[in-house]
Amino acid sequence: MKAPKAQKAQTAPKALTAYRPYWAKRFGTAPFLPMSRAEMDALGWDACDIIIVTGDAYVDHPSFGMAVIGRTLEAQGFRVGIIAQPDWQSAEPFKALGPPKLFFGVTAGNMDSMINRYTADRKIRSDDAYTPGNIGGKRPDRASLVYAQRCREAYNEVPIVLGGIEGSLRRIAHYDYWQDKVRRSILVDAKADLLLYGNAERAIVEIAHRLAAREPVGHITDVRGTAFIRRHDDPTAKGWFELDSSEVDLPGRIDEHINPYQTTSEQAEAQGTSCTKEQGDTAVAEPAVKPITFVRPPAAPASGRIALPPREKTVIRLPSYEQVRSDPVLYAHANRVLHLETNPGNARALVQRHGEGKTAREVWINPPPIPLTTAEMDHVFDLPYARSPHPAYADGKGGHDGATKIPAWEMIRFSVNIMRGCFGGCTFCSITEHEGRIIQSRSEDSVIREVEEMRDKVKGFTGVVSDLGGPTANMYRLGCKSPEIEAACRKPSCVYPGICPNLNTDHAPLVKMYRRARSLKGVKKILIGSGLRYDLAVQSPEYVKELVQHHVGGYLKIAPEHTEGGPLSKMMKPGIGAYDRFKAMFDKFSAEAGKEQFLIPYFIAAHPGTSDEDMMNLALWLKRNGFRADQVQTFYPSPMATATAMYHSGLNPLKGIHRDPKRGGETVDIVRGERRRRLHKAFLRYHDPNNWPLLRDALKDMGRADLIGNGKHHLIPTWQPATDGGYQSARRSNSTPAPSAQAARAAQPVKPAKPVKGRILTQHTGLPPRDTGSRPARKPRTR
């Protein structure tokens, strides 16, 4: 049986390089996308076709969203301008480049603006890594919303396309941690014409060409990876088959109740089969286990088989904004359904009503975009980036290393991105919601070309590549062994509770790339700075050996996140046993190379599902293993994350949502309140005398006063030194000044002290300096 045309269209979208270039391509390539009318005049432009408004300083580097989208559109022939970090107090700064011919592209930047501006304790930050000079306050709260409104005020007739990670995480009604309430879709509040979620090259290119062909923006409702607003009685919605999932336990019209949360493996098990087996009927070109469906149409064919509505014309109705705002159970249900509809191979459109009566609006969310092919990834990353901040940010000496240094650029200045996406599915992480779980990898040749270009053109390169990675260091070219199973799978993670048998875990292509890159002339050392998925790494001992012996500069960061099963099950992270196995391999290969190297584990405090006893046990583990955490990470409820749904509702969407406890489901222990959050952080910093009074009281309340004493087996001592309430972190922004010094610090900023020779700047103290390859390596200490 041949696949229907609609299905072919989903699996084989139009390539980025297949479009006919726009007429303005004759102007050529800009050294930097212009930020002023003078730069436009120098390029010979009378106007911009597209203007990107961003909350970040403009850095022309493929790690910055505005540069990737801008250069991708430029390659299509469009004239693209940048308005970076405008003063949002009026519409005048948004008129700096004149009205764009096609549309405004609006983004808050590489981070959600609220996470960028506030700490996990809702305290406003004084710094901003994406701003010259690391100065805070250069963007407003919910920047995408504010920028869109100012663009509309500046030029009312120009379409507005919303994007970036802030748009991705707020595309439906979402819990807002900072206001402690559920907010409407940002599309409704911003009054934008379209919202693009995910890495949007494919969608933005199609939209730009359709607008250039004079198609009204209101007619562009069929692009994957976009969201738009319809009226509830819009005639253009006719012909869609709606599945009602607006109520818990009542998924819609059905002939028999089917679990709407059932995963592929669970469905296969119920049928007495496995998702790794092929279907016996060779006459039907379908996956062995078909994805779960909510309804059976009234008229079944004579054969008796269920006739499914076409996915390209099926929309799932989520609970309305008014419902999820007032009912946390429905919020958790909507979050669960949304996360089950994230696989580009089987996802259906979603719709959520905002408002009631004649003023009601429907937020339609099309299925996720089809991932870029390797050739398309190469095209995007091979574009002519300047790999530098815009000259407008230069200091008095014409460089970017002085007072106007942009910390986020400094961090990735000598790094290379090799892939996108993550199939880990960690519930506290937003990568999957934005980039998706299907890995998109560049070719080895493309990566090597970028390393060579960086070596030859980037000022200040000393021969050390700071990272070859991405969202995860070692998911390059990993993915499902079967395209059919991948297209049907609805599991939120490929590695939890264990590594899926259908997952390819071969690290050989990554090892080959590492070896080729470190053999390049002029490259002294290649470090791996991205977070490592160590449960995958242990599947390839050759990879661990290559990594440990050639790409670790003294220490390697990994993220077990916790040691206890309760919180780990809510995070969808492996048990601490996987860390122990990786550590054994790490120590073995370090010893073989004659190197003394260290692992730096990262942990989360106050995550949903974490009890006080869990944090106590983690503190005991830290002490037994000699770790003194300095940089403490507290759970931060980002919009739309599964862990955020747990935090808001007190329910576990991973287990299904039911109002009747007898039907299943699971409640989650939520760490709320300043005192309990401080306690969980204090357990991570058990060695800080400022935390000892709080820990003593807590241990006594928990019946664990036996852990208070002056022996090695005790967690904290009985004696209390005189403390001023402050502590000095390796990172100045993480330090807590003493109360007596806070007023003086507010009046006059304290200059950071110069680092002590031999001391490293990491989250842990007592480790040796990192070997960057720019100086002679330390000789191993003799024992």
Q: Are 392 and 401 in contact (CB under 8 A)?
A: no
Three-class secondary structure of residue 604 per DSSP: strand
What are phi and psi for residue 128, nearest 5 degrees? -150, 110
H/E run at residue 227: strand 226-231
Phi-psi category of residue 397: left, alpha or beta, with phi > 0 → left and psi -120 to 50 → alpha = alpha
Question: Residue 576: beta bridge partners?
Answer: none
Taking only the tens place, the pLDDT of each residue in 215-274 is 999 999 999 999 999 987 788 888 889 999 988 865 444 344 445 455 555 555 555 555
Average pLDDT over residues 405-417: 95
What are phi and psi for residue 717, nearest 5 degrees? -85, 170
Is the pLDDT score of 199 beyond 60? yes
Question: Can you give 325-346 as a three-state secondary structure string?
Answer: HHCHHHHHHHHHHHHHCCCCCC
Selected residue with higher pLDDT from 136 and 751: 136
What's the angle, vertex CA 137, arms to CA 136 and CA 143, rounded to 5?
120
Burial of 397 (0-12, 13-18, 19+ CB in 10 A): exposed
The rounded distance, in Å, linking the Cα atoms of 631 and 745 is 21
CB within 8 Å of 778: residues ≥ 6 apart: 596, 768, 769, 771
Question: Residue 228: beta bridge partners?
Answer: 364
Three-class secondary structure of residue 42 per DSSP: helix
Q: Are 421 and 440 in contact (CB under 8 A)?
A: yes
Question: Residue 601: beta bridge partners?
Answer: 558
Closest CA to 436 of 390, 482, 489: 489
Average pLDDT over residues 356-372: 93
List the structure tokens of 263: 């995963």
Is the pLDDT score of 296 beyond 90? no
The rounded distance, in Å, linking the Cα atoms of 556 and 528 is 8
HSE-CB at 284 with a 13 A cutoff on CA atoms is 10
The rounded distance, in Å, linking the Cα atoms of 721 and 698 is 19
Per-residue buried b or exposed e for 265-276, using 16+ beta carbons within 10 Å of the residue's own CB:
bbbbeeeeeebe
Closest CA to 307 of 316, 318, 317, 298: 298
CB within 8 Å of 577: residues ≥ 6 apart: none
The rounded distance, in Å, linking the Cα atoms of 285 and 2 is 8
Is the pLDDT score of 51 beyond 70? yes
Closest CA to 567 of 595, 625, 609, 596: 609
Three-class secondary structure of residue 625 per DSSP: coil
Three-class secondary structure of residue 653 per DSSP: helix
pLDDT of residue 630: 75
Three-class secondary structure of residue 567 per DSSP: helix
Three-class secondary structure of residue 596 per DSSP: coil
The rounded distance, in Å, linking the Cα atoms of 589 and 583 is 10
Is the pLDDT score of 519 beyond 80? yes
End-to-end CA distance of the chain: 70
Is the pLDDT score of 778 beyond 50? no
Closest CA to 412 of 474, 470, 472, 466: 466
Question: Can you give 360-383 as a three-state secondary structure string?
Answer: CEEEEECCCCCCCCHHHHHHHHCC
Distance set, CA 601 to CA 58, 625, 656 (Å): 33, 11, 31
List the structure tokens of 482: 């079967």
Selected residue with higher pLDDT from 656 and 473: 473
The rounded distance, in Å, linking the Cα atoms of 651 and 209 is 44
The rounded distance, in Å, linking the Cα atoms of 384 and 127 is 31
pLDDT of residue 656: 85
Sheet holding 555-561, edge to edge: 555-561, 598-605, 633-634
Is the pLDDT score of 329 beyond 60? yes
pLDDT class for 324, splitting at 50, 70, 90? very high
The rounded distance, in Å, linking the Cα atoms of 458 and 675 is 48
List the structure tokens of 325: 């705002």
Taking only the tens place, the pLDDT of each residue in 690-722 is 999 999 999 999 999 999 999 989 999 999 998
pLDDT of residue 645: 97
pLDDT of residue 276: 52
Give the E-state strand segments of 564-643 in sequence order: 598-605, 633-634
Q: Are 289 and 275 in contact (CB under 8 A)?
A: yes
pLDDT of residue 197: 96
Q: Are 288 and 273 in contact (CB under 8 A)?
A: yes
In this prediction the pTM is: 0.86
pLDDT class for 61, splitting at 50, 70, 90? very high
The amino acid occupying position 18 is A
- For the chain, the average pLDDT equals 87
DSSP secondary structure of 80-120: EEEEES--TTSSGGGGTT---SSEEEEE--SS-HHHHHB-T
Integer Rg of the chain from CA: 27
Is the pLDDT score of 559 beyond 80? yes
Is the pLDDT score of 562 beyond 50? yes
The amino acid occupying position 728 is Q
The rounded distance, in Å, linking the Cα atoms of 346 and 368 is 10
Taking only the tens place, the pLDDT of each residue in 166-194 is 999 999 999 999 999 999 999 999 999 99
Taking only the tens place, the pLDDT of each residue in 600-648 is 899 999 999 999 999 999 999 999 998 988 778 899 999 999 999 999 9
The rounded distance, in Å, linking the Cα atoms of 164 and 162 is 7
pLDDT of residue 279: 40
Range in 28-37, 278-287, 603-612 the model is least confident about: 278-287
Question: Residue 440: beta bridge partners?
Answer: 420
pLDDT class for 286, splitting at 50, 70, 90? very low
> How much of the chain is helix, strand and coil, in % rounded to 5?
35, 15, 50
pLDDT of residue 281: 42
pLDDT class for 570, splitting at 50, 70, 90? very high
CB within 8 Å of 386: residues ≥ 6 apart: 31, 32, 60, 61
pLDDT of residue 284: 39
Q: In the chain, what's the furthest Cα-to-Cα distance?
A: 84
pLDDT of residue 290: 41
Average pLDDT over residues 747-761: 44
DSSP secondary structure of 133-181: GG-S-SS-TTHHHHHHHHHHHH-TTS-EEE-HHHHHHTSSSEEETTTTE
Average pLDDT over residues 653-658: 90
Per-residue buried b or exposed e for 721-744, using 16+ beta carbons within 10 Å of the residue's own CB:
eeeeeebeebeeeeeebeeeeeee
